[in-house]
Amino acid sequence: MTHPIPVPNILARRSIRKFTDQPVTPEQIDTLLRAAMAAPSARNDKPWHFVYVTERAMLDRLVAVHQNAKMLHQATLCICVCGEPGASEYWEQDCSAATENILLAATGLGLGGVWLGVHPKPDREANVREALGIPESITPLNLIAIGHPAEAKEARTQYDAGRVHAGKW
């Protein structure tokens, strides 16, 4: 379980919303979750849980939770990253770092994905909670739609020197 997870180019992670019907393998899912749980967390609290879905009926059902989730009709994997607010006031940050690790590891595996925000929208949280049976003590942070890319995007940064402050603001 300590095989390296290389990300050949961090700039190559782009939001991919079109997918082929080729499934994501159990080994790939395992790699994505190993990457997720390699993220840092405050005090090493690890206030995260991961629900993954490959069943077509549930992927199609999740489309309805979110007005921008239509790509789940094509995606062959969805990971719902969840946090436990009672475990850490940093849960949202820790779970976001884990999410970025999943997206980068997917890129490294030749997969693509897109981060669909759920928290802090109350209606989306309720919809995801009901569909996936998530307990009240746990908050769904997002849905990540994942699959084999059916679109190609150039590597890029959106570096903007106007957002950089040297020494002081």
Please give the backbone phi and psi of residue 80, each rounded to the nearest 5 degrees, phi first: -100, 110
Nearest to 10 by CA among 156, 159, 164, 113: 156
Using CB under 8 A as the binding rule, whether residue 60 contacts a copy of itself is answered as no
Identified binder of a copy of itself from the candidate list 48, 71, 124, 147, rule CB under 8 A: 48
**Residue 42, token pair as written in the block:** 């405050």
**Residue 66, token pair as written in the block:** 């979110």
Minimum Å distance from CB 149 to a copy of itself?
15
* 92 contacts 108 by C-beta, under 8 angstroms: no
* 105 contacts 77 by C-beta, under 8 angstroms: no
Give the binding range for a copy of itself (CB under 8 A) out of 17-25, 69-77, 101-109, 145-153: 101-109
Minimum Å distance from CB 20 to a copy of itself?
21
Cβ neighbours around 158 below 10 Å, total: 6
Using CB under 8 A as the binding rule, whether residue 9 contacts a copy of itself is answered as yes
Q: Which residues are near a copy of itself by CB under 8 A? A: 1-2, 4-13, 15, 33-35, 37-40, 42, 44, 46, 48-55, 58, 89-90, 92-94, 96-97, 99-101, 103-105, 108, 114-115, 117, 120, 132-135, 138, 141-142, 155-160, 163-169
